[in-house]
């Protein structure tokens, strides 16, 4: 199954995140889509991005290691999370069409472990979908782990061979 989520604007801080209907976090697809939207904030405001990720993670805030990982993966490469939105491509420097639309999919192995969902998101700069794992806590699905920030094709503006 695939589900698409559309954001008119991407959240800039926890208050804006809380105002989005998807923040109900009532299914894992919503949380996965919000994770992409939140990661887009990193380049402009790493602290706000971390605060919003912590909101999505519930009782398990980002560790020092995870904060370093974000910095390592996104420093100078803030285009990576935008690559998950429709219309983004290396040729247009990962500038998605507006409003922002992201598609989240499951597969036959998504629900192998009770209380966890491993979903897939497609980056338009990678050959294969990338996994994100959500964990259920009561009625909410919280961010557990994401593998969305691996390298992707270089945007045209940074590619001397483009």
Q: How confident is the model at residue 159, as a pLDDT?
A: 85
Q: Would the pLDDT of 92 be above 90?
A: yes
Q: For 16-74, what is each residue's pLDDT tens digit?
A: 999 999 999 999 999 999 999 999 999 999 999 999 999 999 999 999 999 999 999 99
Q: Work out the mean pLDDT of the chain and round it to a whole number.
A: 96
Q: For 107-137, what is each residue's pLDDT tens digit?
A: 999 999 999 999 999 999 999 999 999 999 9
3-state DSSP percent of the chain in helix, strand and coil, to 5: 35, 20, 45
Q: How confident is the model at residue 46, as a pLDDT?
A: 97
What sign does the CA torsion over 123, 105, 129, 52 have?
positive
pLDDT range class, residue 160, cuts 50, 70, 90: confident
């Amino acid at each position: 199954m695939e589900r698409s989520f559309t954001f008119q604007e991407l959240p800039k801080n926890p208050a804006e995140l809380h105002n989005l209907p998807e923040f109900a976090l009532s299914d894992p697809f919503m949380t996965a889509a919000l994770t992409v939207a939140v990661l887009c904030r990193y380049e402009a405001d790493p602290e706000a991005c971390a605060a919003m990720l912590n909101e999505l993670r519930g009782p398990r805030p980002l560790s020092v290691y995870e904060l370093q990982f974000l910095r390592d993966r996104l420093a100078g490469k803030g285009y990576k999370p935008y690559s998950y939105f429709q219309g983004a491509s290396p040729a247009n420097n990962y500038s998605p069409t507006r409003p922002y639309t992201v598609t989240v999919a499951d597969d036959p192995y998504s629900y192998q472990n009770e209380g966890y969902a491993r979903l897939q998101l497609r980056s338009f700069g990678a050959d294969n979908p990338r996994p994100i794992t959500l964990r259920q806590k009561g009625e909410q699905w919280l961010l557990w782990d994401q593998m969305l920030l691996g390298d992707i094709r270089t945007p045209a503006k940074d590619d001397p061979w483009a």
